[in-house]
Structure 1
């Protein structure tokens, strides 16, 4: 056991139940990494089979619609009942989900590891994965942990729940509240990835800007108009000041924005590196963290902003366009009713909920809104700190909390 590990040895194995969604996997792996670092436990990963239904085909005339309805019934209707049902119901649910093989793999891994049931933890992030995580842990008589708030089960059935503050969780002994999202950012990973990226695209300037671009989703839009209004001035300023830019997009970045960025790369030599995520499986984010002196990220991804803050940056947050819809009006009304204390803060949703999360990071000096060209220039020209100098690692903090409960031989409840 290394000096960084705690004295207790009760946690022996962590089984990540993965839904394959990059953000969810990143959060689970981050917490599992620190659990292993703290205790020396082994980490295993099992991915859910996305073909999750063996229900009879419905005669709806369209296979994809039928599969969607079956999945909804299985996950949103039957899944909500798991915590209140016996082991027979849970096993039948797994069978209908086509996941008995997942149970067999988990049992075989547990048996092969030689770890006792009370020394194993099942861990997942996201609502769908939480159902399988709970079901497997219940049947194998192990403890279980969820990251984020599962929409179906909620947090109460879990031994440990790691929940972001903007979800407004009720105080409970099995709940650990985080600011932002846990992640896999570690100094070692940053150093190794930065060395690799530097060899391929060596910096030419002492001032290097990392730019993390998200994309469009149900709340936000990243458009070519936004790029022209916000990124072109940034690239012009970087060129004038002799700064380097390391840029990456996300899988949600629209195609026309990707095409525009390619043209800008040819126009602005200050762009030392551009990663188009839809075409390149390489994830350059950790390398960018190691090379950058300043970090900018779009507001649509709290997880990206959290990663950058974990890496030590006071992140410059770039507002993006919000999708116009009836939902925006309802969000605004709910936000107003919450501010007047007519509604509970738990009712906050959509854009205001994510803005609240970013505002929390800003209040601690971990991020800063960049809403104008003058604020951008001040941010890049040294009139505000580029690094926050704080200890901020929510994955490690959450792992310590879980380990503490394990070492006392208890659940968090």
Structure 2
């Protein structure tokens, strides 16, 4: 089985494609291979020409599935599906072209699209994480985001929450990391916090690729600032207890509604004591989608 992923180069989109590929790999009885091809290497005119020969030198093996994430990939996925007409085409978002043009669309529930035989709805975007069940009792990870189009960073609110986490979990090992959106001045403010010496601080600039996913595998609990929605879903998928640090909302939309939905489902809480966090529930959306596709 060979999967061709048409890539727009965005890391978040690649994470979704890898999540589904790895889930399909786990579910399949045969060898599953994966090839990523940039949209720059798939000019539309080349794809149209290949409609007659039904082959393309860029594609290493005849694909069984063709993935696309990002609006610039959709037309290419459809065309490549015509070149290799035995392949199934899968768009990992709401497609910009008619649903009937693809075999499957994998769409987060917050987009409000009704599930059907062609539409598989998920809680959040897919990711490549699995729960490796290596969580260490009392180990805490705090992951900070920053301002976004729907959230405004509130340093005082975040500092208060971190202070409460440190105070209410005195026997825990606490690791904290930032993101590229975290204001540069915040680390200096953080270092003035009472008992901050108990916290191991790893700014994003010093963490290698994959570091945070490894930390999620080791943490019993993860606190995430509310703006980092993808990280909330990643922590749930890793099997952690998840606490959310509130930041100011600039607007309410389908994304903030999805976070509220997780709260009402008791997947996440806003407490700052580890003992009060909701127990982790089975959360494996990529696996569930792979099972559906293989039915």
Normalised TM-score (structure 1): 0.62
Counterpart selection for 2:138 from 182, 204, 207: 207
Separation in structure 1 between the aligned mates of residue 138 and residue 19 of structure 2, nearest angstrom? 29
Residue 264 of structure 1 and its aligned partner are, at CA, apart by: 5.5
Counterpart selection for 1:229 from 153, 160, 164: 160
Counterpart selection for 1:146 from 78, 87, 91: 91
Separation in structure 2 between the aligned mates of residue 33 and residue 209 of structure 1, nearest angstrom? 27
Counterpart selection for 2:172 from 229, 235, 243: 243
1:374-385 matches, cutoff 5 A: 375-377=271-273, 380=274, 382-385=275-278
Distance 1:94 1:225, change over 3 A: farther
1:108 maps to 2:57: yes
User: Paired residue for 1:268?
Assistant: 196
Separation in structure 2 between the aligned mates of residue 178 and residue 23 of structure 1, nearest angstrom? 16
Q: Root-mean-square deviation (CA), in Å?
A: 3.2
- Secondary structure at the counterpart of residue 376 of structure 1: coil
User: Paired residue for 1:361?
Assistant: 262
Find the structure with the greater CA-based Rg: 1
Residue 218 of structure 1 and its aligned partner are, at CA, apart by: 1.1
Separation in structure 2 between the aligned mates of residue 26 and residue 288 of structure 1, nearest angstrom? 17
User: Paired residue for 1:62?
Assistant: none
Higher share in strand: 2
Normalised TM-score (structure 2): 0.84
Matched residues, number: 289
Counterpart selection for 2:24 from 29, 35, 40: 35
Residue 93 of structure 1 and its aligned partner are, at CA, apart by: 8.9
Separation in structure 2 between the aligned mates of residue 136 and residue 266 of structure 1, nearest angstrom? 58
Counterpart selection for 1:158 from 102, 121, 131: 102
Residue 226 of structure 1 and its aligned partner are, at CA, apart by: 3.4
Task: Kindly provide the CA deviation profile for residues 54-84 of structure 1, in whole angstroms up to 9, marking residues without a partner as x.
Answer: xxxxxxxxxxxxxxxxxxxxxxxxxxxxxxx
Residue 303 of structure 1 and its aligned partner are, at CA, apart by: 1.5
Residue 176 of structure 1 and its aligned partner are, at CA, apart by: 0.4
User: Paired residue for 2:38?
Assistant: 47
Task: Kindly provide the CA deviation profile for residues 17-61 of structure 1, in whole angstroms up to 9, marking residues without a partner as x.
Answer: 2222222111110101111222232111123339x9xxxxxxxxx
**Moved segments of 4+, more than 4 Å:** 264-267
Higher share in helix: 1
Residue 306 of structure 1 and its aligned partner are, at CA, apart by: 1.0
Separation in structure 2 between the aligned mates of residue 395 and residue 162 of structure 1, nearest angstrom? 10
Separation in structure 1 between the aligned mates of residue 193 and residue 174 of structure 2, nearest angstrom? 10
Task: Give the conservation status (yes or no) of the 8 Å contact 1:242–1:270.
Answer: no
- Secondary structure at the counterpart of residue 181 of structure 2: coil
1:17 maps to 2:16: no
Task: Give the conservation status (yes or no) of the 8 Å contact 2:67–2:90.
Answer: yes
- Secondary structure at the counterpart of residue 40 of structure 2: coil
Residue 122 of structure 1 and its aligned partner are, at CA, apart by: 0.8
